[in-house]
Every structure is written in structure tokens, then in C-alpha cells.
Amino acid sequence: MHSMITTHRVRAFTPLSPAAIAKLETASGNGTNCRFEFSDDIANCDTAVMRTMDFNVDEFPNLKLIVRAGTEANKIVGNRVVNGEACVQMTLGANSDSVAQEVLFAVIGLSRQFHRGDAFVRTQLDYSLPKKDFETGEEGFETMKSKMVGRELSSLTVGVIGVGQIGIRVIQMLLLLGVRVIAHDTNRRSPLYRLLPPSVERANTVDQLLEKSDFVTVHTPGENNQHLISAARLAKMRKGAGLINCARGEVCDSVAILSALNEGKLGGYFTDFPDQKLPPHPLIMCQPHEGGNTKEAQARCGDLAADQIIDFYKQGNVWSPKNWPENVLEPSSAAVMRVTVPHRNQDGVLAQIEPIIAVGPRVNISNTHTSTNTQFGYYIADCDQPVSAEKIARIRAITGVIDVMTFTF
């Protein structure tokens, strides 16, 4: 059992709210064996918090936990991530409302032709014309608006690809405004997808959703989904349909989108990701990755990052990870020590751990939980007696074990 207080140094690459900082300061000590302090010296930190930035964990061998204050961690890379030597977590759900509101803005903007109207008054309307011609002449704005007739939300069918934390908020907002919604998710067993209300139609395939939708909004991870919306998929969409990408730039094929816009197949495109392959265009609305860029979302991301850091180092709980499996267990009331073991998901590892803990001298395991994914497992055991350093060393020596962490209560 540890008798000394362990200091965890945190490098924050993104500003944290006063509330998030206060959480970490309050959690320091407070009856347990760890405390937290902030440091700019990343080489001596075991924890990092960041938003969107390229980050190779291999350059910082002391890092044990990296928290991405956002919904995707594809820019956090390195062999230590791939091998599970460092845990990468995300603050899922913290910016969902902000991104969903941007999507709602996009649906309204595209359906009402606001992108075309804005482009017209900024680049085509001649402000030097006489007042009458400026208003009702052949090129006047009152005349030209007849070419930009929009649609009300209640007449629309919107397809939502990806029913995660953001996709579900988009669906909820659209339903409140009377929009008909079709949804598709590759994981039909996910709780969010299974609990969709009956009014939401479930599409078996992406193609089926595209064929039925007036507007399509994509909410999938960028990893493993490059060009999910390709030229072939664009061809399946309704003529004049709108496309919204607030997920990741690579999810949609920019070259194919530009062709579809110029050919009249696609009626409009909203993207949160500027792309050199997509120059300014009257049918494109583009923002500089503004989806989660609100004061409220950034504060929530920081607060949740602080919560996850505290829970990881005080109880060994793992929330919303990129590489390890998620595993969260409330400590047993009888437990004096918790042992957690991240390991490779291979036969025989778990069968060796519990006998080491339980036998000679006897330790009672009052609660345990294991989670696995295709690569890794994460084992939690709450013990009613202290587990000796010798036993911990034996567990660490098991083939396939990545690390052993202990927590005293």
C-alpha cells in the first residue's frame, strides 16, 4: 500500500475554466494518496489535456493519461497509444449541444437558400443601381429572390448518419421543430440508437438513407470513414439535396462535392472544415471548425476533463477512451485497496490475476469488473485487505499485462 502522496503533473495545452482548475486543486490530497499540479514542463508530466492539435505520445515517455477535450482523438498518435502504454480519453458529450446547434443553423440556412442569398448580396448585387432598379429591376434583390425560394422545416426529411452524442442531439432538436428524421448507425446495438423514438425511421444502409433524405448530416468519426460520402454516394442523393459535414473534413470527398454542386446534383453544402480543394462557392457555407467553439462547450470540456483525470488517478476508472476499453466501477464499501490492470486482450491473462491476489496471504475480492475491446482489456478488483507489493510485481510480470495500478481508500 502506498504511504506517500503521489503528485500528478498536468500539462494543459488548452485553457481550462476556473471551475475545472478548482476541481483538480480541491481533489488534491482530500483523504487520498494523490494530488494534482499544473506544469508547462511536458517532459515531467504524466497527464496532458488538449483540444485539436497534432500530438505524438512517443515523444513524452512519462505521459500516462492524455485527455482530448472534445469528441475525437485521431491526432493523438504514437506506438504507446497503439500498444496501450498510455491511455487516451475524450470528453464525449461535452460539446454536443454546440455542434448540434451549428447543424440546426446549417439545415435552416440551406433549406431557406440563405447561402445563395448571402452570396448574391455580397458578390452579385449592384449597389450603384438607381433605387428602383436596385430593388425591383431585372437584377434587383426583389426580383432575384424568386430564384431562391426556400422550404419550411416541417416539409423536410433529414437523414442523420451516426447516432452518437452529437447525432442524438441533432435528432432531438430536429424533432422538436417538426422535421421528419431518418437515422443510420453502423452499431445498431448502441443504447442511443436502440432508444430512438418510434417517429425516427431507421435506415439499414447509408445508401437507403441518402435516397430518402432532402438533407443529410454526417456525424461519424474521421478514422476509418474517409470519403464515406463519395461520388458514388452523392449520385444516390435526391437532386438538389443538401449535405452537412460537422464531423470531420475527410468524411466527405471535396472534389466529388464540388463536381456535384457545379452539375446541379447537390443543392448546397455546409462544412465546418475549410478545404483547399473547395474554394469559395455560392452553394457552399463554410466555417473554420466552429462547431464546438462556444464558451459553454469549452467550459464543459474542461470540467469533464478534470473529472476524468481525478477519477482515473483516484479510483482507476476509465471514461470514453480511444484505445483502452471503458470501465467504470463504484468502489465497494468494504474495499481498502483497488487494483486495476490494463492488459492485452489475449487468452489466459485474467485467469492468472485473481489467484495471485486472493491466495497467500488471503485477500478477499469484494467486487470486480472487466471490460474488453478487440485489442485490450481493463480489469478492476476491489480488495478488502491490502495487496502486497510482491503480489503486484507478480501480476505485472504476467505476459500480456501492460501495467498494474493500485488505489487506497
Q: pLDDT at position 4, please?
A: 66
What gap in Å lies between CA 96 and CA 301, rounded to an integer? 10
Question: Check: CATH 2.160.20.10 for 1-95+294-323?
Answer: no
Q: Identical fold at 1-95+294-323 and 97-107+152-286? A: yes
Can you give the pLDDT at residue 1? Answer: 40
Stretch 121-130: mean pLDDT, rounded? Answer: 95
For residue 223, pLDDT beyond 90: no
Kindly report the average pLDDT of the chain as a whole number.
95
What pLDDT score does 305 carry?
A: 97
Whether 122 and 141 have beta carbons less than 8 Å apart is answered as no
Q: Is the pLDDT of residue 9 over 90?
A: yes
pLDDT of residue 193 exceeding 50, the answer is yes
Is pLDDT at 207 greater than 80 in this prediction?
yes
pLDDT digits (tens, 9 = 90+) for 71-82: 888 899 999 999
Record the pTM: 0.88
Per DSSP bridges, beta strands 55-56 and 76-77 are: parallel
> pLDDT tens digits, residue range 307-333?
999 999 999 999 999 999 999 999 999
Q: What is the mean pLDDT of residues 17-39?
A: 85
Distance CA 143, CA 147 (A): 8
Q: Provide the residue ranges of all domains of the chain, joining segments of one domain with +.
A: 1-95+294-323, 97-107+152-286, 113-149, 327-409
Q: Which residue, chain included where needed, has cell 505524438? A: 56
Q: What are phi and psi of 82, to 5 degrees?
A: -60, -40
Residue 135: pLDDT over 50? yes
Q: What is the amino acid identity at position 400? A: G
pLDDT of residue 3 exceeding 80, the answer is no
For the chain, give the number of residues: 409
* CATH of the structural domain 327-409, one choice from 2.60.120.380, 3.20.20.70, 3.30.70.260, 3.40.50.2000: 3.30.70.260
Q: What's the confidence (pLDDT) of residue 31?
A: 56
pLDDT more than 90, % of the chain: 91
Average pLDDT over every residue of 218-236: 95
Mean per-residue pLDDT for 163-172? Answer: 96
At 29 the pLDDT is 66
Q: Evaluate whether the domain defined by 97-107+152-286 bears CATH number 3.30.1960.10.
A: no
Q: At CA 71, angle to CA 241 and CA 248, rounded to 5?
A: 35
Structure confidence at residue 2 (pLDDT): 44
SS3 call for 340:
strand
> What's the pLDDT at 359?
87
**How distant, in Å, are the alpha carbons of 74, 220, 242, 281, 325 from that of 254?**
20, 17, 14, 12, 34
Q: Give the per-residue pLDDT at 30.
A: 58
